[in-house]
Amino acid sequence: MFTEEKQNFLTFQDSDSLVPETEKEVADIIKKFYKSNASLEVVGSGSKRTIGKPLQCEKTMILSKLDGIIEYIPAELYIKVKAGTKMDKIINELKKNKQHLSFEPIDFGYLFLGKSNCGTAGGQVACNLSGPRRFKSGAIRDNILGFRGVNGRGEIIKSGGTVVKNVTGYDLSKLICGSYGTLAAITEVTFKVLPSAKETRTLVIHNLKIDSAPDYLAKAISSSCDVSGASFLPTDPICNNCEMNIENTFKLNDLKKEGSITAIRVEGTKKSVEERIENLKIILNVYRNDNLSILATLQSEIFWKKIKDLEFFSETKNNIFRIVIPPAECGNLIYELPEKFKYFLDWGGALIWMEACELSEQKFESIRKRVVKHGGFISMIKNSNHLPYVEDVFTINNSRFNISQSIKKSFDPKRILNPEKMYTGI
C-alpha cells in the first residue's frame, strides 16, 4: 500500500503527504477521496508548486515515486516515462542517443530556489510552459503523443499512443497539458523526441532598442534560415529594486559588453549554421555592423540555457509574470506597460517575461487589460512578499470559463483534484 509519511522537503510545508508508488495506488487514493468528498493536492516533485492559487486541500499526493523510463526506442522517436520521472534523467538518457525534447523544458529551480530543480515529466505536462524553441518546434502540448492518468472519480484513463499521426478519438493528451493537475493525476507520459543538432550558432546584435529589435527578430524568423531562437534582452529600464542583470548573467568570452542583446539562434551541421549566420547578416542588413557577437556551439548552448531557465531572475524577491501575445504586438504593448519594470522578449516577441517590483493587484489587472486588448494573456508565475496573492493568476473570459467548468466536471465531478488552483470555481 502507499506510504503515508511526514514530508518536509523542498517547498512542502504539509505535515503529511501521500506518496503512491504505482498507478493503481494513485487510483485507490483518488477513489477514497472521491467517496469521502475530500480534496487532494496533486504534485510531481513540487518544483512549480507555487504557480497558481494556494490550495487548501485535505492532503497532498506526491507522484515523484512513479519514477522510471518505461520505453525508449530512439529510431521510433519517442520516450515513454512514468510521470514522476525527473526531467534531467530523461534529458540525459536522450543525450546518449544524440536526441532531445525539442520544446526545451524549463528548469524553474533558478527562479524559485536560486539553483537547478528540474521537476518531473508530469509537472512539465501539467504546466505546459515551453522554452525558447517553441515558435519553431511547438509547445509541450505539440510534443506529447500520449498519456495515462487517473481522473477525479479514481478511474484510470488513457489517450493517444506512441505515433505522431493519430486521430483515434478526442486528443485528451492536449487537454491535460496546462491543466495544472485539475483534470487528472498524470501517471505516464509519452513524449515525441527529435535528433539534437550537431552545432549551433547565435548571432547577437548589440544595442538595439525596443522600437526596432522586434522587427529584427521577425525578419529573422520569417526568413528561410530556419531560426530556432529569437530573444531580445534590453538594458533599460534601469531599476535598482529588480534582480534582472544581463551583464552578470551572461559572462561569455565571445559576447561583447555592448548594451542590449538581440539574439538569433540557428542549429544544424557546421557548414549549414555558418552559412545561415552569414545569410542572416545580409537579410538583417548588419554585415557591416561592428556591434555583433557570434557565439559558437559551446557558448551558444550556455546562453540559451540561461534564457530558457530564466537565470537572470535567480533569487529575485519580486513578482514575475509571463505575457503571451501575437508577436507583432510586443513593441506596442511594451510602450503601454509601466516603464519601470524589467523584461525580456522570447519567441521572437511572442513571449514577454517581466519582473515587477512594488506591484499591486490593481496594477496587475490594468496590465492584464492592456495585454488582452492586444490579443494575449498574462499569468502570474512568482509571487512576492509585497504581493503574495492575486485573485486571478491566469487569464480567462466568461465563455471559456463556462466551457472549462463543464470539462472539469466531466473529469472531476466533485472537484477533488487541485480545486481552485487555476480559477475560482474550477
Partner 1 sequence: MTNLSMPKINRKTISKKNIIVKSLKKIIDPQNVIDHKDELKPYETDGLSAYKQKPLVVVMPKNTREVSKILSYCNEEKIKVVPRGAGTGLSGGALPLADCVLLSLGKFNKILEIDYKNRCVVTQPGVTNLSITQAVQDNNFYYAPDPSSQIACSIGGNVAENSGGVHSLKYGTTTNNLLGVEVVFMDGSISRLGSKALDAEGYDLLGLITGSEGLLCVITEVTVKILKKPQTIKAAIIGFPTIENGGKCVSEIISNGIIPAGMEMMDKALIHATDNFVKAGYPRDAESMLIVELDGTETDVSESMERVNTIAKKNKATSIKISKNEKERLKFWAGRKAAFPACGDLAPDYYCMDGTIPRGKLAEVLKEITRLSKKYNLQVANAFHAGDGNLHPLIMYDSNDKKSLAKTEKFGAEILKYCVKVGGVLTGEHGVGIEKRELMCEMFNNNDIQQQVKIKKALDTSNLLNPGKVYPILRKCAEEGRVHVHGGKTKFPNIPRF
Site for partner 1, residues 368 to 397, rule: CB under 8 A: 375-377, 379, 394-396
Segment (H or E) for 379: strand 377-382
Nearest to 190 by CA among 137, 147, 224: 147
156 binds partner 1 per the rule CB under 8 A = yes
Q: How many residues bind partner 1 (CB under 8 A)?
A: 85
Rounded Cα gap, residues 142 and 134, in angstroms: 9
Contacting residues for 156 by C-beta, under 8 A, at least 6 apart: 23, 24, 27, 148, 149, 150, 187
Q: Which of 6, 251, 271, 288 binds partner 1 (CB under 8 A)?
A: 271
CA 19 to chain centre: 25
77 binds partner 1 per the rule CB under 8 A = yes
Q: Which of 32, 212, 403, 425 binds partner 1 (CB under 8 A)?
A: 403
Name the one range near partner 1 by CB under 8 A: 13-21, 52-60, 130-138, 311-319. Answer: 130-138
Please report, as residue ranges, which positions from 319 to 378 form the binding site for partner 1 (by CB under 8 A). 324-329, 347, 350-351, 375-377
Please report, as residue ranges, which positions from 102 to 121 form the binding site for partner 1 (by CB under 8 A). none
174 binds partner 1 per the rule CB under 8 A = yes
Q: How far is the CB of 386 from partner 1 (least distance, A)?
A: 24
134 binds partner 1 per the rule CB under 8 A = yes
- Compute φ and ψ for 40, nearest 5 degrees: -140, 125
Q: Which of 28, 407, 414, 420 binds partner 1 (CB under 8 A)?
A: 407
- Strands in 207-350 per DSSP E: 227-233, 261-268, 292-295, 319-324, 342-346
123 binds partner 1 per the rule CB under 8 A = no
C-alpha cell at 328: 507583432
**Complex with partner 1: residue 121 or 217, whichever CB lies closer:** 217
Binding mask 220-259 for partner 1 (x = CB under 8 A): -xxxxxx---------------------------------
**In one letter, which amino acid is 269?**
T
122: left (phi over 0), alpha (psi -120 to 50) or beta: alpha
Nearest to 103 by CA among 73, 142, 48: 142
Q: How far is the CB of 56 from partner 1 (least distance, A)?
A: 22
Q: Which of 76, 315, 365, 391 binds partner 1 (CB under 8 A)?
A: 76
